[in-house]
């Protein structure tokens, strides 16, 4: 039996290529199976129970020793595995970093500006090891890295930039879903990002650089990245949202942030991967989706 533990992106550096990928954990052999999703035919029945997806230690996957059943349909880790990994407790709850997080925070971190339709600018952070993956997994298709720091100060620097430049730190998933069909206005996005970067470089911010150990990247070295034309980025013209559907049947169409898009019987359906993660899977021989209720909505978070 297999458990779905992740749906995300991988980056092939030499080819400069992004590939959406699913990870399954074989509960018998204890091996992680990776599936490249482009062209993949889904025929999966997900379990009613949602289990903890385990954690990563020094980049190596560790299964949940307790096989905890999660009560929340959007949570992916139990409290024990979250503490062992330490990311959420450190970044969101201000806990002292454990040994695993100490190593993670010791690496170089980056601050980026990202554009979202319609006309939104977000400030975010990424570690050096996840520099190429973090924006695309956030569905930040047009972005630029603007500053460097260490992991211990980067979140404070992010909040400082957000407060002093009026740039949001959060774009809700419901907002991303609302505009999932709209391709970014590239000219407007580039102009907005460039004008904002110029504001950063118009004067030296001593608090940002000295107190928060955050260094601006040289203006001439900043490059705006545009992933909106990438071959594996899909903008579904029309779609139906299946909020609590446990059957995945059809051909992979795309992955946008936390939303998986599958085409079945000439229609495209959108699934929340947070709802699917952690469930065990069985095979389906056939399946037909019913028309979803009109009042179904995703969580704002």
Q: What does the pLDDT look like over 228-265, one tens digit per residue?
A: 999 999 999 999 999 899 999 999 999 999 999 999 99
Number of helical H runs and strand E runs in the chain: 9, 16
B/e letters for 72-89, b = 16+ CB within 10 Å, e = fewer, are eeebbbbeebbebbbbeb
Q: Which residues contact 250 (CB under 8 A, 6 or more apart)?
A: 41, 42, 262, 263, 264, 265, 269
Q: Per the structure block, which two tokens stand in for 119?
A: 């006309």
The answer on pLDDT for 297 being more than 60 is no
Integer-rounded Cα Rg, in Å, for the chain is: 20
Helix 186-201, helix 154-165: angle, nearest 10: 100
Tell whether the model's pLDDT for residue 101 goes beyond 60: yes
CB-based contacts of 1: which residues, under 8 Å, 6+ apart?
Answer: 26, 27, 28, 280, 281
How far, in Å, CA of 57 to CA of 95, rounded?
A: 18
Per-residue confidence (pLDDT) for residue 295, from 0 to 100: 44
């Amino acid at each position: 039996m297999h458990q779905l533990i992740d749906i995300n992106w991988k980056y092939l550096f030499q080819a400069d290529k992004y590939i959406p990928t699913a990870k399954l954990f074989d509960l018998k052999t204890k091996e992680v199976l990776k599936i490249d999703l482009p062209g993949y035919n889904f025929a999966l029945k997900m379990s009613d129970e949602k289990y903890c997806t385990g954690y990563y230690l020094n980049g190596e996957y560790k299964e949940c020793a307790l096989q905890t059943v999660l009560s929340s349909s959007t949570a992916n880790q139990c409290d024990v595995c979250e503490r062992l990994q330490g990311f959420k407790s450190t970044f969101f709850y201000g806990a002292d970093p454990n040994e695993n997080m100490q190593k993670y925070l010791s690496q170089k971190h980056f601050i980026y500006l990202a554009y979202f339709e319609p006309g939104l600018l977000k400030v975010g952070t990424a570690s050096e090891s996840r520099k190429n993956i973090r924006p695309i997994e956030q569905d930040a298709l047009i972005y630029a890295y603007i500053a460097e720091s260490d992991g211990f100060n980067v979140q404070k620097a992010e909040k400082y930039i957000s407060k002093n430049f009026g740039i949001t730190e959060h774009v809700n998933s419901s907002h991303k879903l609302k505009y999932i069909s709209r391709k970014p206005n590239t000219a407007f996005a580039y102009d907005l990002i460039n004008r904002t970067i110029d504001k950063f470089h118009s004067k030296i911010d001593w608090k940002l650089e000295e107190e928060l150990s955050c260094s601006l990247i040289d203006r001439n070295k900043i490059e705006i990245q545009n992933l909106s034309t990438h071959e594996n980025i899909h903008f579904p013209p029309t779609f139906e949202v299946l909020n609590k559907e446990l059957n995945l049947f059809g051909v992979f169409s795309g992955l946008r942030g936390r939303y998986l898009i599958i085409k079945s019987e000439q229609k495209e359906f959108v699934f929340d991967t947070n709802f699917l993660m952690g469930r065990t899977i069985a095979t389906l021989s056939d399946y037909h989706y019913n028309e979803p209720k009109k009042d179904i909505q995703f969580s704002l978070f």
